[in-house]
Amino acid sequence: MAQNQQPIFQTKPPEQFVQIPINIERDSSTARMNHTGISNRKPNHWPTITISIIFVIIGQSIAKLLENFYYDKINRSEYDENRQNDGVWTQSLLQTVGFPLLLIPFFIFITKNKRNHHQQPPITSESIHLKSLAVIYICIGIVMSVQGRLSAMGKLEIPFGVFTLIYTTQLFFTPIFAAFINKIKFNRWVVISVILAIVTGALTLSASFGGEPDEAEENYAKGSWAALFAGICFSLLLCNIQNVFDNYIFKRTESTNKKPSFASVFEVIIFSSLVATIISVVGLLIAGEQHDLKREMNGFSKGKGSYVMTMVGQAVSWQIYWVGIVGLVYSVSSVLSNVISVITWPIVSVLVVIFFNFMDDEFDAFKGVALVTAVLSAVAYFIRLHKENRMAN
């Protein structure tokens, strides 16, 4: 009997060795129960992580630079109190309206996946997932539009430094929401990374903004609440996107034994942005901002062509940013996505100093230290990510 049992125990380890990476790759429960706050579902997927980070940096930097250029050239300093919040729905719309650009890569990925995998999930299971996803995409789209609206309004109501400090609170809320919604727990490296990211965000208080209000225009109560709830909405947005990946999209692929595709990143952005765009367009029409657009174009100091290019550039840049942000959620977690988003702020603030001549804006000690803490924050998270991936192998 002992000799007959010997081969049985010898054949199990190879079977488990083959199955573990597959489950890590596509099993959402494995990903969510990771005690470090880092998803195991994409071990050693550094190319996706790297490209996503580059997209976040490039997209957010260009979008914010063009936003500053927009406010600087529409002569907003001449606005009266009645025009304080002109363009907030427009800025919210620009963050999502460029989603049709993602349809081409989305269909390319879909076509490639269908060519490689012919097995389809059961019809009943697929229909349940589609109905659930439809509801969730609507909710994410609502949060996305509200976040864009509140963020745009907050920057026009209070000094940009104050807005930045309050908006940085998103890094307090994201770990809390991630713990409850995504069942993530954290180790010291992730905690250190988040703390350094908070310090980085706070140190960008010396950054300038082209649409910053004058003292007579400041409304601290309204602007502070807008900044706070914008940060909360962004945290909810990231955690709910991770919830979509963990509990719907990755489980949907399990029935066909397929690994999750990056097409799911485009799927989340496209359908959520569609909802957000509809809401922003309705808000824009109700607020009458369509009339402001024509007036702004005619009064744009660099001409109508520059105005159009500025708006188109923002729309394209925001889509690059969203691909990076959602790509990080897909590859790692909502926490890393939020960390990378915030530690990009010092880069933007330095670029604003280089390209604009705002009053009293210069490269100071705050911006220098913020760049250092940004690098340290990323390094701390990547150290843990490297260890986690090494353990997964």
Measure the CA–CA gap between 316 and 327, rounded to whole angstroms. Answer: 17
**Hey, what long-range contacts does 77-85 have (CB within 8 A, 24 or more apart)?**
77/214, 81/216, 81/217, 84/156, 84/157, 84/213, 84/217, 84/219, 85/153, 85/156, 85/157
276-280 average pLDDT score: 96
Q: Is 283 helix (H, G, I), strand (E, B) or coil?
A: helix
- What average pLDDT does the structure give for the chain? 81
Q: Of all residues in the chain, what percent carry a pLDDT higher than 70? A: 78
In this predicted structure, what is the pLDDT of residue 147? 96
- Burial of residue 135 (CB within 10 Å: 0-12, 13-18, 19+) is exposed
Measure the CA–CA gap between 122 and 119, rounded to whole angstroms. Answer: 10
DSSP string, 13-49: HHHHHHHHHHHHHH-HHHHHT-TTSS-SSSTT-HHHH
Is the model's pLDDT at 77 over the cut of 90?
Answer: no
- The model's confidence at residue 190, banded by pLDDT at 50, 70 and 90, is very high
- Burial of residue 214 (CB within 10 Å: 0-12, 13-18, 19+) is exposed
- The model's confidence at residue 38, banded by pLDDT at 50, 70 and 90, is very low
Tokens of 162: 């104050």
- Which residues have a Cβ under 8 Å from the Cβ of 375 and sit 6 or more positions away? 343
Is the model's pLDDT at 12 over the cut of 50?
Answer: no
Residue range 323-353, pLDDT digits in tens:
999 999 999 999 999 999 999 999 998 888 8
In this predicted structure, what is the pLDDT of residue 22? 28
364: left (phi over 0), alpha (psi -120 to 50) or beta: beta
Is the model's pLDDT at 235 over the cut of 90?
Answer: yes
Please report where in the chains the tokens 């729905």 appear, as a residue.
Answer: 89
What pTM was computed for the model? 0.85
Please report where in the chains the tokens 């485009």 appear, as a residue.
Answer: 266
Measure the CA–CA gap between 52 and 326, rounded to whole angstroms. Answer: 8
Measure the CA–CA gap between 124 and 127, rounded to whole angstroms. Answer: 5
Measure the CA–CA gap between 64 and 317, rounded to whole angstroms. Answer: 9
Question: ∠ at Cα 105 (101, 110), nearest 5°?
Answer: 130
